[in-house]
Amino acid sequence: MGLRLSGFLGFVLLCGVPHRTLAQARPLPGSDVQQIYQRLLPQIEKIPIFDHHSHAGFADDPDVDAMASPPGSAALRSRATNPELLAAAKALWGYPYDDFSPAHAKWLIQKKSELRKTRGQQYFSDILDQLNIERAAANRALMADYLDPRRFPWVFFADAFMWPFDNQQERLRNPDEEVYIPLQEKMLHRWMQQEGVSKLPASFAGYLGFVSRTLEDNQKKGGIAMKFEVAYFRTTRFADPPREQAEAAYQHFVNGGLPSQQEYRTFQDYLFRYLIREGGRLRLPVHIHSAVGTGDYFNLSESNIMNLENILRDPRYSGTIFVMIHGGYPYEHEAIWLAAMKNVYLDSSLMELWTYPSQFKHTLKQWLETFPEKITFGTDAFPYNEVLGAEESYWLGVQSSHSALAAALAEMISEGEVTESKALEMAHGYLHDNAMSLYPSLGQRKAD
């Protein structure tokens, strides 16, 4: 009896079962949830972060995005009137005022421009240091010399290859496209300049060769992934046309003439699939904007993340890593099931800025309870204007995610779903390790 008892005690000690057993999960957190939250938060804040999706840069830098957002209706929290931005300005710069009146805002603009001059390439690295971000992926048209590439690995845009023809009809679809499509044309010309191509190749094979060379060269220049924001420009339902049809469209329209919408889409459907296959060959992960977007005419049903299920679950692309940027928001609860595919990951950026921590906590909790090893952290920091810059969005993104993450995990612990040490392991995975595992080249380069 004595022996059996000590054996049982030994088992309890070995398994590290705390005073609260994990045998049966409960539907409600206990009265300890606040305490667990307070205990977790400082530990979570100490975890070095990999920001999987951000747009580092200054508001006056046209290379921040390949696309400029026309004014659309912004969600409450993302408006310039958000009082949390005052907290950001105080925390980051010691802003001495309690409002952003034009006279006061001038203080902030001056402060930033002084630091921009004196700190040079360190300016944005300083922001990362303040927020315990080890590296932040910089999703930009081209890299900027004011960003340290060791801290800001480049994610380049790959959409422009899908718009090589006369885009008159594409532009006319709505006023947003009038803004977007010319920027895609500009981006394509930049890739052509980079590759020394003065005119689009006469043959389709020549065009695909040019596309592949651009991807390879961008990778050599430090690009760690290619990004699509195609949802802003057309439906994300991609058909599967044979090469001959895409080739016929190319031959027909490469030197001019207006393709019908169907002809253009067929060509694009093929090109998109070619690009993601190349992502597999080159070990270049594919990032896809998968959430609702800004602007007046963004079509939510045409860009629903589930439209991409045929691509993500296609065994032909199993060698390509897909990162679903913004986690399919507002369909993030369905989207997590796409991460069942071993090559599909979700990024949580934008959600933590557009929703409040109380709401974002539910998202994280469900994700952590489903595929915790497939979810990654991102801010979607972006320079909205001179006062509300990428700097403030990095701050808000990190604060919001830290608190929502601590709250989600505290509930999971209190409800008997995971141990505290398992919860912290999940936090490390989400904030850093899961994303880093996708970029072995970064593991070899030192961050500082």
| Residues of this chain that bind Zn ion (CB under 5 A) | 380
**Spatial distance between the Cα atoms of 226 and 158, rounded to a whole number of angstroms:** 6
| Residue with smaller CB distance to Zn ion, 159 or 380 | 380
Q: What is the closest distance, in whole angstroms, from the C-beta atom of residue 57 to Zn ion in the complex?
A: 12
Nearest to 402 by CA among 380, 430, 435: 430
CA atoms within 13 A on the CB side of 389: 22
Spell out the alpha helix ranges (H) of 282-356.
Answer: 309-312, 332-335, 351-354
CA distances from 330 to 236, 300, 335, 350 (A): 16, 9, 9, 11
Please answer whether residues 411 and 33 qualify as being in contact, where contact means their C-beta atoms are separated by less than 8 angstroms: yes
| Residue with smaller CB distance to Zn ion, 134 or 380 | 380
**Spatial distance between the Cα atoms of 207 and 205, rounded to a whole number of angstroms:** 5
| Residue with smaller CB distance to Zn ion, 54 or 266 | 54
State the helix-helix crossing angle for 261-281 and 204-220, rounded to 10 degrees: 40
CA distances from 60 to 120, 214, 384, 386 (A): 16, 27, 10, 8
**Can you read off the two tokens belonging to residue 75?**
């969600």
Q: What is the closest distance, in whole angstroms, from the C-beta atom of residue 53 to Zn ion in the complex?
A: 6
Omega before residue 330 within 30° of 0, cis: yes
Q: What is the closest distance, in whole angstroms, from the C-beta atom of residue 382 to Zn ion in the complex?
A: 6
Compute φ and ψ for 327, nearest 5 degrees. 55, 25
**Spatial distance between the Cα atoms of 185 and 193, rounded to a whole number of angstroms:** 12
Q: What is the closest distance, in whole angstroms, from the C-beta atom of residue 54 to Zn ion in the complex?
A: 7
Q: What is the closest distance, in whole angstroms, from the C-beta atom of residue 289 to Zn ion in the complex?
A: 7
Please answer whether residues 398 and 430 qualify as being in contact, where contact means their C-beta atoms are separated by less than 8 angstroms: no
| Residue with smaller CB distance to Zn ion, 176 or 380 | 380
Please answer whether residues 329 and 354 qualify as being in contact, where contact means their C-beta atoms are separated by less than 8 angstroms: yes
Q: What is the closest distance, in whole angstroms, from the C-beta atom of residue 430 to Zn ion in the complex?
A: 18
| Residue with smaller CB distance to Zn ion, 148 or 380 | 380
Residue nearest to Zn ion (CB): 380
One-letter amino acid for residue 74 of the chain: A
| Residue with smaller CB distance to Zn ion, 214 or 393 | 393
| Residue with smaller CB distance to Zn ion, 303 or 414 | 303
Q: What is the closest distance, in whole angstroms, from the C-beta atom of residue 67 to Zn ion in the complex?
A: 10
Q: What is the closest distance, in whole angstroms, from the C-beta atom of residue 172 to Zn ion in the complex?
A: 26
Spell out the alpha helix ranges (H) of 16-101.
Answer: 33-45, 84-93
| Residue with smaller CB distance to Zn ion, 265 or 287 | 287
| Residue with smaller CB distance to Zn ion, 61 or 380 | 380
| Residue with smaller CB distance to Zn ion, 177 or 380 | 380
Look-up of token digits 């090109």: 271
Nearest to 159 by CA among 177, 185, 135: 185
Q: What is the closest distance, in whole angstroms, from the C-beta atom of residue 349 to Zn ion in the complex?
A: 6
Compute φ and ψ for 262, nearest 5 degrees. -65, -45
Nearest to 53 by CA among 139, 119, 124: 139
Nearest to 56 by CA among 168, 164, 131: 131
Q: What is the closest distance, in whole angstroms, from the C-beta atom of residue 65 to Zn ion in the complex?
A: 8
**Can you read off the two tokens belonging to residue 325?**
């940027």
Q: What is the closest distance, in whole angstroms, from the C-beta atom of residue 240 to Zn ion in the complex?
A: 28
List of residues 6+ apart from 75 with CB closer than 8 A: 354, 355
| Residue with smaller CB distance to Zn ion, 176 or 420 | 176
